[in-house]
Chains A and B, each alone.
Chain A
């Protein structure tokens, strides 16, 4: 049973290959994390610097969306294969969520 996932006849070679691959992926995760920190700092700095409201609002929103894409695709591994159904679930959720926010911002007033 042990070799269900292996694609090489040599279990040892395969093991070392997997180790190396996951260590490489971990390094990528740290790069992702650094970029997320960077985006966060920029977003806070933009607000702290007191730019115009019409620049800040779309800018910080864009940074948030990029950061969330990083989180979902790298930290939560949605970029890996076998995540087609999770992608469908998440995008459906985002669509309904977007329509909800849009409705509350446009057709509701007090």
Chain B
């Protein structure tokens, strides 16, 4: 099965992301990477939980002074919806419908940018309204490292998906790029997995103390 071979919806394999040896290896390697990312984020969560509300003097803002639920709720909905739209994209990838896949990936990217915009607004707000910065306290350092690292993952995911969309725009689907699209969508889901714990552990638990 040559990787560059042209297919029709009828001849397109059932699991195109694992139809070639390269695809199988990427699939396995990527899940190993995600296992490592789990440990990485767990260590950042652990640091945050250990340093939460550790401020040098009482005039520094604490978690429950900073966070506002409506914005976090909006960000959660944006990222959760973008996770569903990337599932739609992979559904069309498996049906060998390149155009629809690109459309849903584009919607995913737009939702990702909306999320990122909210996060930039949020950080800006904390810095200017509350003087809660990376260097203002141990709490600040732990907070921005954890949430900022997730934001960096979102940024990287967006660049990755956009690069794939542009690079393959005129190529269409084949067994060479199907694994690439599939892994990018796995990465995007993983970003949402991390966000579920961020909104729960950092924001919701931060509100109650």
| Residues of chain A having any CB pair with chain B under 8 Å | 1-2, 4-5, 11-12, 15, 18-19, 22, 25-26, 29-30, 33, 36-37, 40, 43-44, 47-48, 53, 56-57, 60-61, 63-64, 67-68, 71-72, 75-76, 82, 85-86, 89-90, 92-94, 96-98, 100-101, 103-105, 108, 110
Contact = CB atoms under 8 A, between A and B. Distances in A.
Nearest to A16: B10
Given A56-B204, A64-B200, A75 B77 contact: no
B1 A1 contact: yes
A36 to B, nearest CB: 6
A47 B69 contact: yes
Contacts of B36: 93
B41 interface: yes
B77 A104 contact: no
A61 B200 CA distance: 7
B42 A101 contact: yes
Contacts of A110: 54
Contacts of A57: 205, 208
A108 B200 CA distance: 22
